[in-house]
Amino acid sequence: MERSEREKQMSPAERRRRMEARKRRQKERARKKRIRMMILIGGGILVLAVIGLIIFGIVRLVSGGSNGISAKGDTFVIAIDAGHGGEDIGRSNGETVEKNVTFDICSKLKTMLEGQGYQVVLIREEDIRISKEERVQKANEAQADLLVSIHGGYSEDTGASGAISYYNKDNKQSNYLAEKIQEALIKESGALDGGTLEGNFDIISNTEMPAVLVEAGYISNADEALNLADDTYQNDIAKGIAKGIIMSLEKGK
């Protein structure tokens, strides 16, 4: 018996059941089709995302990192700022005086960087007081590619210790520079890692280049104050900062 004849012999209820079953099969086929399309589209998006990540990684590898600092001229000009000076002695603890510690570390840092072929500008070249405005002006006039200012930390809690790198929150390269300096500084000196923090200091907020202020240790901590006055420890601090600076630079300069 042909299908049309069978259907004629069906009761209205049977016809409705068959129609409903047919609709359910059609809906199920449509649902499975949508699922297959979603799987295909999702797989395509995943493949594109993976390709994008690979390309991004290659670009970062070739460029030395999107936040790497590049030189304005033929070589990098690095400004180094020794905090305090003259009658402005900074903090002190026993025979450890901040203005002397910062100057000694900066002098060592200058020698290390110049030994690697970089041009270094010392913001404070002798034991004199320099205003915040003069420091900023000198760094900007030198057209430095980056600036690092060295200070000592202080806390009412005499047990506080460690090194901290502050950066200009409005400059991604400053953040990158602070991370590299902090990483190398802790590795070389063995100091407690105080991390990187946003800072509002004039020397890093008002200069026209990526800038970081490093508190190399707490002068308020008696043990750390002794370390900061030690020549060998100062060398370790300077070596760490130098390595961090170099790691932050774009390659090829």
Q: What is the pLDDT of residues 67-100, one digit of tens each?
A: 899 999 999 999 999 999 999 999 999 999 999 9
In this prediction, residue 125 has a pLDDT band, given cuts at 50, 70 and 90, of: very high
The whole-angstrom separation of Cα 182 and Cα 35 is 50
Contact (CB, 8 A) for 244 and 177: yes
The whole-angstrom separation of Cα 64 and Cα 210 is 16
In this prediction, residue 31 has a pLDDT band, given cuts at 50, 70 and 90, of: confident
In this prediction, residue 38 has a pLDDT band, given cuts at 50, 70 and 90, of: confident
Q: What is the pLDDT of residues 190-202, one digit of tens each?
A: 999 999 999 999 9
Residue 4 has pLDDT above 80, yes or no: no
Please list, residue by residue across 196-214, b when 16 or more beta carbons sit within 10 angstroms of its beta carbon and e when fewer do. Answer: beebebebbbbbebbbbbb
- Enumerate residues 6+ apart whose C-beta is below 8 A from 25: none
Which of the two residues, 193 and 10, has the higher pLDDT score?
Answer: 193
What is the model's pLDDT at position 163?
98
User: What average pLDDT does range 236-251 have in this prediction?
Assistant: 95
Residue 47 has pLDDT above 80, yes or no: no
Query: Of all residues in the chain, what percent carry a pLDDT higher than 90?
Result: 71
Closest to 102 measured CA to CA, from 60, 152, 43, 162? 152
Query: Of all residues in the chain, what percent carry a pLDDT higher than 70?
Result: 83
- For residue 69, what is the DSSP state? B
- For residue 191, what is the DSSP state? -
Least confident piece of the model among 36-50, 174-188, 228-242:
36-50
Residue 56 has pLDDT above 50, yes or no: no
